[in-house]
């Protein structure tokens, strides 16, 4: 089966779910959580099928720039849907469903880079899994921080929109933000540790920039969590540190991958 059909089906379902949620919120209504979850699960089913066909080959795991972006979007949406079972984070889906739609289409239609297939040794698979989960959790944290920023701004100016009225209290939103940050930082720690253990000569294989920037991001998130615990950091300061760490992490992975595959062709 060609990956085109599941890719288009996933994009259609993501777009439909985003449109439904956006219309309900614009009308100051509350989207049906079960319908959102159903649309999201169906989209993930087709998204996962297209990813499997695009990434697996006889030579190994094909994890080029757009496949990697699609895989991380898949992980982020999956983690968010699972989180919705216990905590009120369904408003994040309004940002994530369009992201899923965009990345699944880019992975299908954009030209592939020059990355070499990855041999699927168990240690390497574990490192990739931990990395994707870490990026996913920290992406959710960044989106959550932007919603906290929007909520704080509208509450201070006393003009809450229909979207904000569906949010939990600001203190709850900040608690969720730091919960995601803790989870993402711990997974990033395990990812770096697994890379040191299972990747031979970590600073070769064009991985030096990725490794160094990832370590800087780890330090930024560690300082942020220390500041929250020891100094009570919150609000704009916490959001600035979150965005700084995330930018370093995205430069580490997507920046280096973009340069290697589409500029240097290595």
Give how far the C-alpha of residue 63 lies from the chain's centroid of Cα atoms, to the nearest Å: 16
Low-confidence ranges of the chain (pLDDT < 50): none
**How far is residue 209's CA from residue 137's CA, in Å, rounded to a whole number?**
22
> Domain locations in the chain?
1-120, 144-266
Question: What is the structure's pLDDT at 78?
Answer: 93
Question: What is the structure's pLDDT at 258?
Answer: 63
122-156 and 93-109 helices cross at what angle (nearest 10)? 140
Question: What is the structure's pLDDT at 160?
Answer: 62
- In sequence order, the 6+-apart residues with CB closer than 8 A to the CB of 114 are 260, 261, 262, 265, 266
pTM of the model: 0.83
Question: What is the structure's pLDDT at 159?
Answer: 67
């Amino acid at each position: 089966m060609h990956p085109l059909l599941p890719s288009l089906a996933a994009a259609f379902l993501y777009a439909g779910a985003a449109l439904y949620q956006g219309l309900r919120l614009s009308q100051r209504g509350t989207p049906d959580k079960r319908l959102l979850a159903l649309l999201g699960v169906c989209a993930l089913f087709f998204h996962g099928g297209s990813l499997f066909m695009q990434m697996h080959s006889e030579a190994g795991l094909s994890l080029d720039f757009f496949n990697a972006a699609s895989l991380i979007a898949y992980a982020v949406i999956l983690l968010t849907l699972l989180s919705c079972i216990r905590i009120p984070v369904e408003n994040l889906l309004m940002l994530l469903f369009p992201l899923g739609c965009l990345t699944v289409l880019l992975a299908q239609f954009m030209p592939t880079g020059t990355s070499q297939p990855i041999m699927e040794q168990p240690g390497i698979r574990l490192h990739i899994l931990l990395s994707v989960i870490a990026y996913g959790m920290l992406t959710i944290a960044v989106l959550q921080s932007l919603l906290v920023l929007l909520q704080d701004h509208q509450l201070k100016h006393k003009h809450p929109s229909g979207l904000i009225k569906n949010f939990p209290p600001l203190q709850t939103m900040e608690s969720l933000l730091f919960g995601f940050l803790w989870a993402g930082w711990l997974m990033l720690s395990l990812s770096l540790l697994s890379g040191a253990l299972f990747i031979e000569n970590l600073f070769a294989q064009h991985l030096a920039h990725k490794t160094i920037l990832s370590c800087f991001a780890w330090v930024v998130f560690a300082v942020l969590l220390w500041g929250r615990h020891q100094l009570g950091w919150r609000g704009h300061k916490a959001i600035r540190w979150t965005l700084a760490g995330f930018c370093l992490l995205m430069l580490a992975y997507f920046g280096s991958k973009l340069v290697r595959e589409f500029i240097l062709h290595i």
